[in-house]
Amino acid sequence: MSLIAFMQAQNCSNYAGSWRHPASTPDFMTPEYYQRIARTLEDGRFDLAFFDDRLAMPDIYGADHRLTVEHGVRAVKLDPTPVMMAMAAVTSRLGLGATYSTTYYEPYHVARLFATLDLMTRGRVAWNIVTSLNDSEAENFGRTEHLEHDLRYDRADEFMEAVMGLWDSWEEDALVIDKASGRFADPEKVHRLDFHGEFFQTRGPLTVPRSAQGHPVLLQAGSSGRGQRFAGRWAELVFAAYPNFEVGKKQYAALRTATEAAGRNPDSVKIAPAVGVVVAESADQAAEKRAYLESLAKPIDGLTLLCEVLNVDFAARPYDGPFTDAELAAVSWQSYRDRIIQKSGKKNPSVRDFVEVSGRGTLREGPSFVGTPVQVADQMESWFTGGACDGFVLAAAYTPGSYEDFVRLVVPELQRRGLHRKEYAGATLRDTLGLSRPRAGDRPSPADRRELGGKAKAEAG
Ligand SMILES: Cc1cc2nc3c(=O)[nH]c(=O)nc-3n(C[C@H](O)[C@H](O)[C@H](O)COP(=O)(O)O)c2cc1C
């Protein structure tokens, strides 16, 4: 069972109200805060700590950042890559993942950054590929509005072609480093990419040779039809958002089918839903802890965070007025919208439906496992063995406490049941996840790809 920590380099956990908890430590702008969590997760033999990201403050509600800042609704957001390197410095096996956007960065930049991070951690890095979500992000990067949903994925596909090509520009044994002959590397084994796509151009070669795990592990979290096709093609680990076990089982099967449809072995992709956990020594204590945590949420948290992911300003709309079909079609996070439509039973939900049905900004947003260590482990075991997932992305209710509770109480129970490792299998994140190591040259070369593309066009024509 893969265990992944859903980390944020921000002033609260994934649960916006968490910063108000008395045990939430206020040192989230220091390396020590992240290092303390890193040590805890490695003690618990977690596969990975992965950081989400957003390239703007959540300020779409009311078209103003004042409420966001005043209430601390994820108002601070640090760049996740240096933060995860602070964690790398005090661990040796824990995987470290960061979210980077294919919409606002360039392929060469991302390829170089993540290849370097992978070397500096000796092969423990993962990249969460996202296409970003809203106009505030667009405005921070010199654009006026965010791109349409499917177009973002089309660009992302091309972005991946370019990044994978750059990562392959050094063959495995290109480095010679022979001081006697004066030969540093074999020029026949370092290649230009000469990538000319519809959206991106990059020449190469990359200036970073291969890492211990070949290249960073690829993560992805989109779950619309288009998102699943993208994941089926590229992802090695998929983060899912299941409303419950039954729907989860269906989504799990659909993602495996999308992987097969992309010509890959479905067993080469791991799927992990995000879940919250509140655990304590007794069931009563766990319920009390959860009730207290729930009392920390404020309505502004949910409103702000919904507007952020849907890219819609709720303050400019009537609370009970239904969204038109055209407005719904323009929503940024389509699988999120579809979940609300399905759960509310309304084809055209209102702001009220989005707020009440989603539970965003509260602990009700996603599934939670609450109870004693045995009760929590029972629920995790039933999802895992019942065919809904290969592991879990654990969203902390408050930090660092939630991770410390989980590692102290639930991890030993999972280990006792043989569901979770007692020791890491190897040194790289791929070893930990049981993923194979890609070799440069596994993928068709640019020339072969052009030929394949030509053949496909000729056949289609
Ligand atoms: C667990 C999880 C984590 C995510 N993390 C991020 C993130 O950090 N940054 C981001 O821009 N989008 C994030 N997303 C959103 C997805 O990348 C994607 O944009 C979104 O699901 C919309 O695509 P879809 O309509 O195909 O689902 C996350 C989604 C899930 C389920």
Q: Ligand 1 centroid to 86 CA: how many Å?
A: 25
Q: What confidence tens digit (pLDDT) does each residue in 307-352 have?
A: 999 999 999 999 999 999 999 999 999 989 999 999 999 999 999 9
Does residue 222 line the site of ligand 1, with CB under 6 A? yes
Residue 401 pLDDT grade (very low, low, confident, very high; cuts 50, 70, 90) = very high
Question: Which pLDDT score, from 0 to 100, does residue 133 have?
Answer: 93
Does residue 274 line the site of ligand 1, with CB under 6 A? yes
Does residue 136 line the site of ligand 1, with CB under 6 A? no
Does residue 14 line the site of ligand 1, with CB under 6 A? no
Residue 454 pLDDT grade (very low, low, confident, very high; cuts 50, 70, 90) = low
Does residue 132 line the site of ligand 1, with CB under 6 A? yes
Does residue 350 line the site of ligand 1, with CB under 6 A? no
For the cut 60, the answer to whether the pLDDT of residue 180 exceeds it is: yes
Tell whether pTM > 0.85. yes
Does residue 44 line the site of ligand 1, with CB under 6 A? no
Does residue 156 line the site of ligand 1, with CB under 6 A? no
Does residue 310 line the site of ligand 1, with CB under 6 A? no
Q: Which of 333, 358, 394 to mutate to test the pocket of ligand 1 (most atoms within 8 A of CB)?
A: 333
Q: Ligand 1 centroid to 68 CA: how many Å?
A: 21
Q: What confidence tens digit (pLDDT) does each residue in 232-248 have?
A: 999 999 999 998 999 99
Residue 27 pLDDT grade (very low, low, confident, very high; cuts 50, 70, 90) = very high
| CA distance from start to end of the chain | 47
Residue 461 pLDDT grade (very low, low, confident, very high; cuts 50, 70, 90) = very low
Q: Ligand 1 centroid to 282 CA: how many Å?
A: 34
Mean pLDDT, to the nearest integer, of 416-435? 97
Residue type, 275: V
Long-range contacts of 87-91 (CB under 8 A, 24+ apart): 87/34, 87/35, 87/37, 87/38, 87/49, 88/38, 88/120, 88/121, 88/124, 89/31, 89/35, 90/35, 90/38, 90/39, 91/38, 91/39, 91/41, 91/42
Query: Dihedral of CA 423/407/237/216: which sign?
Result: negative
Q: Ligand 1 centroid to 121 CA: how many Å?
A: 25
Ligand 1, atom 22: closest residue by C-alpha: 333
Question: Which pLDDT score, from 0 to 100, does residue 456 have?
Answer: 47
Ligand 1, atom 13: closest residue by C-alpha: 130
Does residue 71 line the site of ligand 1, with CB under 6 A? no
Ligand 1, atom 1: closest residue by C-alpha: 239
SS (H, E, C) the chain: CEEEEEECCECCCCCHHHHHCCCCCCCCCCHHHHHHHHHHHHHCCCCEEEECCCCCCCCCHHHCCHHHHHHCCCCCECCHHHHHHHHHCCCCCCEEEEEEECCCCCHHHHHHHHHHHHHHCCCCEEEEEECCCCHHHHHHCCCCCCCCHHHHHHHHHHHHHHHHHHHCCECCCCEEEECCCCEEECHHHECCCCEECCCCEECCCCCCCCECCECCEEEECCCCHHHHHHHHHHCCEEEECCCCHHHHHHHHHHHHHHHHHCCCCHHHCEEEEEEEEEECCCHHHHHHHHHHHHCCCCHHHHHHHHHHHHCCCHHHCCCCCECCHHHHHCCCCHHHHHHHHHHHCCCCCEHHHHHHHHCCCCCCCCCEEEECHHHHHHHHHHHHHCCCCCEEEEECCCCCHHHHHHHHHHHHHHHHCCCCCCCCCCCCHHHHHCCCCCCCCCCCCHHHHHHHHHHHHHHHC
Does residue 334 line the site of ligand 1, with CB under 6 A? yes
For the cut 90, the answer to whether the pLDDT of residue 412 exceeds it is: yes
Does residue 146 line the site of ligand 1, with CB under 6 A? no
Q: Which of 7, 133, 358 to mutate to test the pocket of ligand 1 (most atoms within 8 A of CB)?
A: 133
Mean pLDDT, to the nearest integer, of 191-197? 96
Ligand 1, atom 4: closest residue by C-alpha: 221
Ligand 1, atom 10: closest residue by C-alpha: 132
Mean pLDDT of the chain: 95
